[in-house]
Amino acid sequence: MQYKLVVLIASTALAALFAGGAMLSLQQHDDRLKLQLETQAARMQSIYEVSMDELEHEARALAYNMAADPEIARILGDANHLLRAGGESNEARAVELRAALTAKLDLQWQDMHRMFDLRQLQFLLTPDLRSFLRLHAPERYGDSLMELRPMMRSIQNDRIPRSGFEIGRAFAGIRGGAPVIRPYAHRHEALADAPQAGQTGEHVGTLEVGIGLDGLHKRLSEKLGIGVAVLLNPERVTQAMWSHYQPATRAPERSNCCFLLSASRPEAEAWLAAGLIERGKTEAESRLQTWDRKQYQVIRFPLFDFVGKQNPARPPAGSILIWRNAETELAAHTKARSITLRNAFAGYALVQLIVLLLLNLSRREWKRQLDLQTAAISRLSQQNALLLNTAGEGIYGVDPNGVTSFINPAALTMLGYTAAQVIGENQHRLFHHHYADGSPYPDEACPVFQTLLDGKRRSCEDWFIRADGTAFPVAVTVAPIDDGNQRDGAVVVFRDISELKEQREALEQLATTDPLTGASNRRQFLERLDNELSRLKRKGGTASILMADLDHFKNVNDTHGHAAGDAVLKHFVDIVRQTLRKTDVIGRLGGEEFAILLPGDGIEGARELAERLCEAVKNSPSRFERTLIPISVSIGVASLNTRDGSAEASLQRADKALYDAKHAGRDQVRIHTPGQAGAGLTAPEGAP
């Protein structure tokens, strides 16, 4: 081949190489910008959903606390009985009760409206959820919400407080509801009215509160520098809300988009009026939008109401719109593209000049060296192929973008793929895209991508996903492939450690749990108790401990046998676990003696839980074979004290209270009070 032709081909190839590299770099910049925007969108959605969950919890707690007021229970109970009886005199008495309830709550309603952005406070009567009083719309009452309000129906059915987003007749926002229970005055009332065992009062109504979203949106907008708006589907609004209470701002009729319920900044209303907001979709979306000479990232995701969260097939009630100024990212993106193009052109010119000089000065030597290098590369390739094909560990390589460039047979066997399915694919998205629990595995957390970014060698335990979708644990080592100052990719070596992890888990289970009941053993429980004491000393807070002992357990063993005694112990632990939260810990200290750690609970909360536990145990006899064995439990309660030197000191105080409960007649709760050497008292610590 003539020298001039070689020069021409080399120049053309060099130009194509730099052009391709520039295009790849530009694509990487585009991908990086897209990833930044997607990350921001996911972050904004996550922050908003967590904030909404906190607001729902606040609404639920507010409704629960107000529903516990005995005076409210009495008024609703009287109103319920009067309206059921009918008659003009009863209707007049109902008006008096409504006025009394309004007078009682008027100041409290105003305070909560100011403090919590409370927009709705409503009282509903059983059994048809008839509105007795709306403090936010006192002139509206007497209508039944049975068909309109699924959340209220659920609360009435099982008496469990709930919260969520709902669109009602006079308000759309976060609602919380709780049953209003009036205690039975006489035993015959309980026998006549209570359909289920364990109910201690009559369900006379349901209390509902509604919290607006303006306050939440204002806080998020100020803290994060974003705009937030809630858009409601027009069908849901017109079907549920009285026209007088419908949001004032909605999209033009031609777009049939939505009502604007709340917005922290004026852009949302302007976009709605301009027809720039389309009807909401069922999946999240993120896009760029130019408005008033500024670039915004607009993030939108569906808003599900209370029923929608339980039934994914139900269309969303609307959507959440979040927008943020994206000019900084776009300016940086434009600058990076310009630098890339400039560097590509300058690099091409420089390299082209060097290549021409080198070709002109040493074309013969170049050919000789080329032949030598070709032979060396061929030998090295054969050696590498032999090592890859005979290694017992899985080995594969990736380029700087995480795309698989080679893989050995051992890796393919463990993963269940063929080479054609893996080569040229992004390894993270193919078999490393989720954690073992099914949650997404972001690229930035992947050890392979971390090594590609910083060039550091890593060894860790991780999870890979087989072709059939099953996950298995692996020990992974990632090493960078560097060529001078340039990182060409990475090599990954892994092995299946499923059997090793099973052995570890089995050993840990044997070392920390009671084999009969599955509760923590004494050593593990004391370790958790010591950790909680250390946490209280560092950060403050409250925590309590219960000491529980099954009453007359020896009689169970003597009468029914030790197998029945074992069944009673397991039954007791099952009841405790149904009563406790996930953060609480139960441990078996020995025999029929158990201890329960309640992080975050003060002495009063611990006492209430202990009494519920006593009641639950007494009302749930243990079944062994065909025999029902009645059981009861005595419980001692003590709060954790930062002055305790060890876990044993805390246990001793709870044990003293348990001793008092035993000697007071069993089947009861006693609280340890500082300074009391004798029997424990049933009042909380520090009470007068």
Region 382-388 average pLDDT:
73
pLDDT digits (tens, 9 = 90+) for 200-243: 789 999 999 999 999 999 999 999 999 999 999 988 888 888 88
pLDDT computed for residue 362 by the predictor = 65
Region 580-609 average pLDDT:
93
pLDDT digits (tens, 9 = 90+) for 236-288: 888 888 888 888 777 666 556 788 999 999 999 999 888 888 876 678 899 99
By the 8 A CB rule, do 60 and 52 touch?
no
Region 144-173 average pLDDT:
91
- Which DSSP string do the residues of 593-631 spell out, in sequence order? EEEEEEET--HHHHHHHHHHHHHHHHTS-EEETTEEE--
Other C-beta atoms within 10 Å of 341: how many? 13
Average pLDDT, the chain: 87
Predicted TM-score (pTM) above 0.85: no
Alpha-carbon distance of 182 to 200, in angstroms, equals 9
Region 379-398 average pLDDT:
79
pLDDT digits (tens, 9 = 90+) for 429-462: 888 888 878 888 898 889 999 998 888 999 998 8
pLDDT computed for residue 683 by the predictor = 33
| Banded pLDDT at 198 (limits 50, 70, 90) | low
Provide the 8-state DSSP code for 681.
B
Q: Is 311 helix (H, G, I), strand (E, B) or coil?
A: coil
Provide the 8-state DSSP code for 279.
P
| Banded pLDDT at 681 (limits 50, 70, 90) | very low
Q: Is 637 helix (H, G, I), strand (E, B) or coil?
A: strand
Q: Go through the domains of the chain in sequence order and give each one's CATH number.
A: 3-38+344-387 (no CATH), 68-184+199-212 (3.30.450.20), 217-325 (no CATH), 391-502 (3.30.450.20), 513-671 (3.30.70.270)
By the 8 A CB rule, do 191 and 235 touch?
no
pLDDT computed for residue 688 by the predictor = 27
Residue 467: φ, ψ to 5°:
-60, -30
| DSSP H or E run through 20 | helix 3-67
pLDDT computed for residue 503 by the predictor = 77
Alpha-carbon distance of 177 to 209, in angstroms, equals 6
Q: Which residue has the higher pLDDT, 564 or 503?
A: 564
Residue 557 has pLDDT above 80, yes or no: yes
pLDDT digits (tens, 9 = 90+) for 232-245: 998 888 888 888 88
| Banded pLDDT at 687 (limits 50, 70, 90) | very low
pLDDT computed for residue 608 by the predictor = 95
The length of the chain in residues reads 688
Residue 172 one-letter amino acid? A
Give me the residue label for tokens 């029923």: 307
Between helix 498-512 and helix 522-539 the angle, nearest 10°, is 90
What angle (nearest 5°) sits at the alpha carbon of residue 517, between those of residues 513 and 523?
30
Longest dimension (CA), the chain: 117
pLDDT computed for residue 474 by the predictor = 92
